[in-house]
Structure 1
Amino acid sequence: MKQSGNEAHPTISDVARHAGVSRATTSRALSNYGVVNSETRTKVLRSAEELGYVPNVLARSMRAGSTQTLGLIIAEVGLSVFDLAMRSVIESASLQGYQVLVTNTNEDLIAERASIRVMLEKQVDGLIVVPSAVVDLEFLSRSDLKGKPVVLLDRSLVTLGIPSVTADNNRGARDAIEHMHSLGHTKIGLIVVTANLEGETGERPRGLISTIHDRVEGYHAEMAESGLPVNPDWVRYCGDAGESALTAVRAILDSPEPPTALLASNGNMSLAVLRVAKERGLVIGRDLSLVGFDDAPWATVLTPSLTVVDLPIEEMAKAAVDNLIAQIADPSAEQASVTLPTRLLVRHSVDDLTAHPGAVIRTHAAPATPLRTQKRALTSP
């Protein structure tokens, strides 16, 4: 007879007494190892079923030195790129016999520190971390992690010497600027979201995570190489994707000589540009051109569809799982960091100014006019 919900969970000793055999024999029968005759095994299994015995798989795994679980610490659940990463990590780990525990930090360092503590308490075999900061990271040191292997996903922390799997964000930003310049744009702005910043500013904050740092550097490098000036009014940083992001976009468009095109640092920043464009009656791809980072499902549904720098996030997540499991299998083997190439998906959100030289950006609503016939060289993803 099964135990009621208010009684203690039956133990392996309870099963042994009920079956009338030793605890060792019960253990062998339940684990299906060693020599146990079929009659005894049947008796033990029947007793376990009648008592409602559930084996403590976690305790058994811990005694064996492995729980077959990985910890995944994501920076922002709900952001398309990280949702894809989470799914890919879970699927890749499952194929190799691992389960995945997931926590979300919302780009908060305190939450990240707490997540690490929880994962260690759960006795995960290793950690995949999307770090939310570049300072105060002692909790990621080998001693604080009690020797647990770690791999960083999407972002790197060179000073800690932890292997990482990232995308070539610098090259991605350069490809975006090169594409806009090839279509005649010489006034190109940049809108950036970064954690640990209140409001918005034109000054580059300290402590940018590697992903954002590389995108900002790529923007400036390609502008310089193309001989294009960067007006300080065209670059704004904001602390979140809410009102501060909208304020930052408005500030760029209200500058004395506004840019004709913008590069957005992620999908949320692209949405901020789209919202401001809508409130001002601006048509993306005509009145204002836009290229974003991260390919979201809505990017192709828009009219016009959005040109983006696409990260190979699913491949990155799989590589992170492979890297981590290799560390678990052989802790002494050094694992190298990996950087995967990005891909520019050219759609319809960048106006071809070479087809109509002298076009001037509108920064506020104006009477509707027929759309110009635009000549574009496009590659559809």
Structure 2
Amino acid sequence: MPLRQRDQAAVPITMADVAKRCGLSQPAVSQALSGKGRLNAETRARVVSIARDLGYLPNVSARATRSGHLGCVGLLQSTAGWRSLLPSPLLDGIHDALAERDMHLVVAKLADEDLARAAFVPRILRERLADGLIVNFNAAIPAGIRRLIREHGVPAAWLNVRQEYDCVHPDDLGATAIAVRRLVELGHRRIAFADYSHASEPGDAHYSVVDRRAGYQQAMIAAGLTPRLLVERNPVREDQRIAFTRAWLGAADRPTAVVTYGNTIALPILIAAASAGLSVPRDLSVISFSDLDARHLGLELDVMVVPCQAMGRAAVDMLFARARPRRGHPAQAIACAYVPGGSTAPPA
């Protein structure tokens, strides 16, 4: 921290020093540095320049003591990466929404074994280091994380989970229905849903496993069509996915279109179709789910884009909404966008 000499002791530059150099009051300097008040642009620029030349840095601790706010939000992550996926657009949404509020983000990673101990309290809660929490635990959620948040009374918004209150998540149910309707409008009648990553009984898998299947089945029934789930009792191993795909592609009544749970299922389907001499989209139409427009992945693929950036922003907005209902904010489902990529066409 920049220092000056006073009675042979080095002390930090204060706002009073800046005010004295500028010939202004401390409140006026505070307004100039915070961008508030009615000072003209020339005066504000002069104050900022003098503060920079002196090496003045705001005393964040003192500001927090006065206001009761730390200007910080904590992002809670699991040390198990599969439980706390954090796509870059999601982080961008959180960061940008906080930056607009002149706030910053700290990250705390919590291990399952610690959360299982009743006495465990992470530092971010123990010392109240954040004004609120964004919780990115979204599958097989440990009971300990809910207990800690409840006991410490910190405002929290949950990411990518489906619960009644205080959460934002994609509208997976509606997104799969949009994909099915798109294929029906093109004239397809034999439309399947493929999920190789999860078992036919998903157990404690992410809620989207159930919602995407349900959205597909509901849309098929609404269109007067018979649903066909390409799902096995156990997840299909990665080294078996192309062979598994070729088996159903070779059936006499094979689907002419397929909606996939995600890109890790769409890719082996595209490979298997090509190796079987089938053309996408002439012989097989494919729609997948993705965190990004598939063109960023080098794929010509129609996708339902998960609204990661919008979810990050919505979580921050939910934390700082002015009126907080006693039971919490109702869950917010955010629509996925359908982005054509060249993998759908009318059936041959």
**Residue number in structure 2 paired with 1:288:** 284
SS in 2 for 1:254: helix
Q: Which string of whole-angstrom CA distances, capped at 9 and with x for unpartnered residues, describes residues 221-264 of structure 1? A: 112222222345x234876xxx8245346424414554232211
Distance 1:283 1:61, change over 3 A: farther
The structural deviation recorded for 1:291 is: 0.2
Q: Which residue of 1 aligns with 2:50?
A: none
Q: What amino acid sits opposite 2:6 in the alignment?
A: A
Q: How does 1:172-183 map to 2 (within 5 A)?
A: 172-183=175-186
Q: Deviations over 1:66-108 (max 9, x none)?
A: 332212346869x998211111111110110111124679xx9
Other-structure match for 1:66: 69
Is 1:309 the counterpart of 2:329? The answer is no
Identity of aligned residues (%): 22
Distance in 2 separating the partners of 1:331 and 1:22: 52
Assess if the C-alpha contact under 8 Å between 2:220 and 2:226 holds in 1: yes
Equivalent in 80, 84, 96 of residue 89 of structure 2 = 84
SS at match of 2:152: coil
The CA distance in 1 between the partners of 2:163 and 2:216, in whole Å, is 21
Match of residue 149, structure 1, among 152, 155, 166: 155
Aligned to 2:194: 191
Partners of 2:275 and 2:61 lie apart in 1 by 54
**Structure 1 regions of 5+ residues with no counterpart?**
1-9, 40-51, 195-199, 357-381
Q: Measure the CA separation in 2 of the matches of 1:134 and 1:117.
A: 20
1:104 and 1:270 map into 2 onto residues whose CA distance is 32
Correspondences of 1:341-380 after superposition (within 5 Å): 341-353=335-347, 356=348
Select which of 165, 170, 175 maps to 2:173.
170
Deviation at 1:306, TM superposition (A): 1.3
Which residue in the other structure is 2:219 paired with?
222
What's the secondary structure of 1:214's corresponding residue?
helix
The residue number in structure 2 matching 1:335 is 329
Is the alpha carbon distance of 1:209 and 1:113 closer, same or farther for their aligned partners in structure 2, counting shifts above 3 Å? farther
Q: Secondary structure at the match of 2:176?
A: helix
Q: Distance in 1 between matches of 2:273 and 2:335?
A: 31
Alignment partners' CA distance in 2, 1:333 and 1:22:
53
TM-score (normalised: structure 1): 0.64
Cα pair distance change 1:66/1:21, threshold 3 Å: farther
State the distance in 2 between where 1:220 and 1:81 align: 29
Q: Distance in 2 between matches of 1:322 and 1:132?
A: 19
Matched, 1:254 2:247: yes
**Alpha carbons of structure 1 residues 60 and 299: separation in structure 2 relative to 1, 3 Å:** same
Question: Does 2:140 correspond to 1:137?
Answer: no
Aligned counterparts of 2:237 and 2:304: Cα–Cα separation in 1 = 23
- Report the AA paired with residue 290 of structure 1: V
Between 1:136-145 and 1:290-299, the stretch displaced more is 136-145
Relative distance call for 1:298 and 1:308 in structure 2 (3 A) is: closer
Residue 89 of structure 2 aligns to a residue in which SS? helix
SS in 2 for 1:271: helix
Within 5 Å, give how 1:227-242 maps onto structure 2.
227-231=224-228, 234-236=230-232
Question: Quick check: 1:168–1:341 contact (8 Å CA) kept in 2?
Answer: yes
State the SS of the aligned residue for 2:95.
helix
Q: Tell me which residue corresponds to 2:315.
A: 320
What amino acid does structure 2 have at the position aligned with 1:173? T
Give the match's secondary structure for 1:308: strand
- Give the whole-Å Cα distance in 2 for the aligned partners of 1:149 and 1:189: 42
Structure 1 Cα separation of the partners of residues 176 and 140 of structure 2: 21
Distance 1:144 1:290, change over 3 A: same
- Alignment partner, residue 7 of structure 1: none
Q: Deviation per CA, 1:266-302: give whole Å up to 9, x if none.
A: 2333334334445555432134321011252443675
Partner of 2:37: none
Question: Is the 1:156–1:165 contact (alpha carbons within 8 Å) kept by the matching residues of 2?
Answer: yes
Query: Helix, strand or coil for the counterpart of 1:293?
Result: strand
Task: Work out which of the residue numbers 203, 207, 211 in structure 1 matches 2:204.
Answer: 207
For residues 121 and 154 of structure 1, the distance between their equivalents in structure 2, rounded to whole angstroms, comes to: 25
Aligned to 1:369: none
Cα separation, partners in 2 of 1:19 and 1:140, compared to 1, 3 Å: same
* Preserved contact between residue 260 and residue 288 of structure 1 (Cα < 8 Å): yes
- CA change 1:156–1:227 in 2 (3 A) is same
Give 3-state SS (helix, strand or coil) of 2:258's partner: strand
How far is the alpha carbon of 1:22 from its aligned partner?
9.9
Question: What is the correspondence of 1:18-29 to structure 2 with a 5 Å cutoff?
Answer: 19-20=6-7
